[in-house]
Amino acid sequence: MLGILAVLVALAACSPAPAPPSTGPGQAQREALIADFIEAVQRNDAAAIAAMTDRQVDPRAAIAALLDAHGGQAWENVRVTWGPDDFGGRAIYATVSAETPVGPDSVTVLTIWEAGRATLALGSATGVDPGSDTTSPRP
């Protein structure tokens, strides 16, 4: 019995990041979206990130700022943690943390599940005050 407990403790110490908050509709697509996002940020690929956003917003300024701060760096030991599901599966934050050649890095991005598609909430809608939040409250 003590041997089994020691194995369980050892496995717990090596366990991956916590599971996403939901296994409901869209979570698998959200996870794939964040994996693609991680690759695109490392490649400094603004076009790929733009393709991951809602087609009704203009993400160019947000993507430029994101890539200026985090793009083009090799990330190692990447971890994704998911925020709480406070919006019934529609909007969930993902925080990507990693080590880079210049030190630790972290990016938090809101994922949206709508109309059978996962997208990133980057950018602002046309005709909306650029200073206003067009997504949802930040945790």
pTM for this entry: 0.73
Q: Which fold has domain 25-123?
A: Nuclear Transport Factor 2; Chain: A, (3.10.450)
Q: pLDDT by residue (tens digit) across 116-125?
A: 999 999 987 6
Q: pLDDT by residue (tens digit) across 48-73?
A: 999 999 888 899 999 999 999 999 99
Of the ranges 11-25, 52-66, 105-119, 122-136, which one carries the lowest mean pLDDT score? 11-25
| 105 — pLDDT class (breaks 50, 70, 90) | very high
Q: Is the pLDDT of residue 83 over 80?
A: yes
Domain ranges of the chain: 25-123
Q: Of 25, 58, 63, 75, nearest to 128 (Cα)?
A: 58
